[in-house]
Amino acid sequence: MQKNSSLQQIKQSIKDCIHRKELGKARQLLEQACKSDTRDIELWVLAANVHTALRDFDAAIVDYNQALEIGVLNADSCNNLGYLLQARGRYPEAIIALNKALDREKNHLGALYNLALAYATVGDFSNAEHYYKAALKQRPDLTEAHINLGNALRKLKRPEEAMSSYQAAIASDPKSFLANLNLASLLEKMHDLDQAATHAELSLSLHPESYAATLLLSRINRRVGKLHEARALATRSIELAARPVDKAQAYNELGRVLEGLEIYSDAFDAFSRANQVWTDVISSTQLSADAFKDRVSSYSGLLTHIGEQERSQPQLEACDRAPVFLVGFPRSGTTLTEQILAAHPNVISSDEAPFLQQLIDKIPEIMQSDTSYPESVPGLTPENIEVLVEEYWQLVESHVGAKIGDRCFVDKLPLNIVDLGLIYRLFPTASIVVLIRDPRDVCLSCFTQSFVPNQAMAHFLDIKNTALLYADVMSLWMKYRETLPVKWMELRYEDLVAEMPAVVSRVLDFLGEEWDESVLDYFQNSGQRYISTPSYEGVAEPVYTHAIGKYRNYSDEIQAVLPILDPFIKQFGYA
């Protein structure tokens, strides 16, 4: 009895020390207490509290786990453990701990909110939405939850609901910097530039040193034609950029402003500076630009084998059983074409989603083979193909949030053009629409665009490497069209913008769809569709021709790559 009384006194002393922030003394008392009883759950929880206050999260996690081995923790302790696991990047474990907290207390506000954060971090935005809403049901004025719910809804491509969440955050706290900034960013994406400017200016007034607000306001001013104001803001954003990635984006924005001002030499210099920053960033990572070129090269050597493969299962001809693949080299007009087609009442599109890459990642498991991709493609069996096709449609319908039914589904991802060998094996009756644009404009646009580099886009950081990749990819396409018996159509961007009704009518006829006038007003709906690609600015207005021949403004810079591009300039009729 005396021992228990003494332990209780020590625990109370530890609590008092924590309250007074005498953490060193609290730790000493813990060491003393643990000598008398290591099976006391409360003691381990106190140890976790001390280590958390000392920012020693790993030790605190060990303490909580020790307590769990002894017995059941209450909701607060499970929530704290989940929070600490998140802080250490151990998200699956955090989700387990936070669910335990909710098992103890189903409406625990901290656990609901932290669980939403954990799900959002691992990319499960549907669950994040659920738990943010549950947290807001407990605390409707929780500004951060409204903001993060808006972010999750934006990821789920539900912009109108995201906007409502940001507005609710502002109603809760009108001076919330993040709520105003995120709303401004979304409004700019949705092409409501007046309202976007209002909230961007407010966010900048709340945080005058904000890089993000400064850059966003520069973009808005550029888009409404206030180029001198935009130039000053872009220059300021370069000064404010703390991270290399931010500096790259700021230089790119400055380049776009200078291009608008027709100061082309300085614009190219700004684009080059942006790309050099990205090059420096990539040099310290494991990103290999060669891997993508190797895929292109491998497919070139496999074409004969792929062409010899006959699919044993019945050929599926209905549009709802085979997708339409909208492909081409990036910056060739695929986003514009997708938006036009998506305005048709019987067409549904994907924005840009990596369905094919997700299938590619599953091929080794499905084939039970270590053969690398794309060398594995000729060896796909009818059973493998059946599994992959079913998986494809599950991914599509999960992404679009609806059954495709008898609608025409357009899978738009430009560089899927490289993987037409796999597409042919999976969907031999698929319709392939290939966008073609003047190679000089394409390569210049890739070089000047603000892409986040991946294995393919890393080539665009140098104008010569851009041209070399273009040559590899489009050479592969020309081999595909000669070798594979696929149903394909080439569509020239320049023809599309010059004669849109006639060209779109031909595309719809190729796809087996009736003409519908709504496709001519595609831009009227651009504010209602969330477009994640860098092309979102260009589809907010009727088709225009000012992007045609833009390379002429950079004749000196483009001259160096003409020997690489010249065969394709001639092949595609741009000589």
Question: pLDDT at position 517, please?
Answer: 93
Token pair recorded at residue 406? 């008898």
Of the candidate CATH numbers 3.40.50.2300, 3.40.50.300, 3.40.1000.10, 3.40.50.1820, the domain formed by 302-572 belongs to 3.40.50.300
For the cut 60, the answer to whether the pLDDT of residue 313 exceeds it is no
Calculate mean pLDDT across residues 359-387. 93
DSSP calls for 209-274: T-HHHHHHHHHHHHHTT-HHHHHHHHHHHHHH--SHHHHHHHHHHHHHHHHHTT-HHHHHHHHHHH
**In angstroms, how far is CA 203 from the centroid of its own chain?**
24
Calculate mean pLDDT across residues 248-255. 97
Share above pLDDT 90 across residues of the chain, in percent, rounded to a whole number: 73
In sequence order, the β-bridge partners of residue 490 are 434
Higher pLDDT, 214 or 69: 214
Question: pLDDT at position 531, please?
Answer: 60
pTM: 0.86
For 449-494, how does the pLDDT look when each residue is reduced to its tens digit (9 = 90+)?
Answer: 988 888 899 999 999 999 999 999 999 999 999 999 999 999 999 9
Q: Which CATH architecture has domain 1-204?
A: Alpha Horseshoe (1.25)
Confidence of residue 1 (pLDDT cuts 50, 70, 90): very low
Three-state SS at 74? coil
Q: Which CATH architecture has domain 209-285?
A: Alpha Horseshoe (1.25)
Give span(s): CATH 1.25.40.10, the chain: 1-204, 209-285
Which of these, 319, 345, 341, lies nearest to 496 by C-alpha position?
Answer: 341
For the cut 70, the answer to whether the pLDDT of residue 266 exceeds it is yes
Three-state SS at 462? coil
Q: Using CA atoms, how far apart are residues 550 and 573, in angstroms rounded to an integer?
A: 17
| Mean pLDDT for the chain overall | 90
Give span(s): CATH 3.40.50.300, the chain: 302-572
Q: Using CA atoms, how far apart are residues 346 and 508, in angstroms rounded to an integer?
A: 11
